[in-house]
Amino acid sequence: DTEVTQTPKHLVMGMTNKKSLKCEQHMGHRAMYWYKQKAKKPPELMFVYSYEKLSINESVPSRFSPECPNSSLLNLHLHALQPEDSALYLCASSQDRTTSTDTQYFGPGTRLTVL
């Protein structure tokens, strides 16, 4: 089973709203990732958690706040977003970022629209 689930599938929010995206995996993976994908572009890495600790932040604005409550769950808290933040947000997980055979598996994404 290589399933990563994400909720919600679609989200529309205003610039003053606070919302959260949720990602879950039950593969025993210890690394989890958030990506942002604009239309017709490749995914861009935002954050990496390894063993529930934030290991990479790709200079993401503070209006995006990640959280890893446990090894199976990854959240992305959103606050005061801008219309240009509208995108597909993808979550991924992998077994262990330090192994050479590490492979990332992606969820279906959350389509976010900021009005």
Partner 1 sequence: AQSVTQLDSQVPVFEEAPVELRCNYSSSVSVYLFWYVQYPNQGLQLLLKYLSGSTLVKSINGFEAEFNKSQTSFHLRKPSVHISDTAEYFCAVRKAAGNKLTFGGGTRVLVKP
With CB under 8 A as the contact rule, the residue among 56, 60, 73, 80 that binds partner 1 is 56
Give the residue, chosen from 19, 52, 71, 105, that forms a contact with partner 1 under the rule CB under 8 A: 105
Identity of the residue, 59 or 100, whose beta carbon is nearer to partner 1 in the bound complex: 100
**10 Å Cβ neighbour count for 78?**
20
Nearer to partner 1, 17 or 108 (CB): 108
If one asks whether residue 109 binds partner 1 (CB under 8 A), the answer comes out as yes
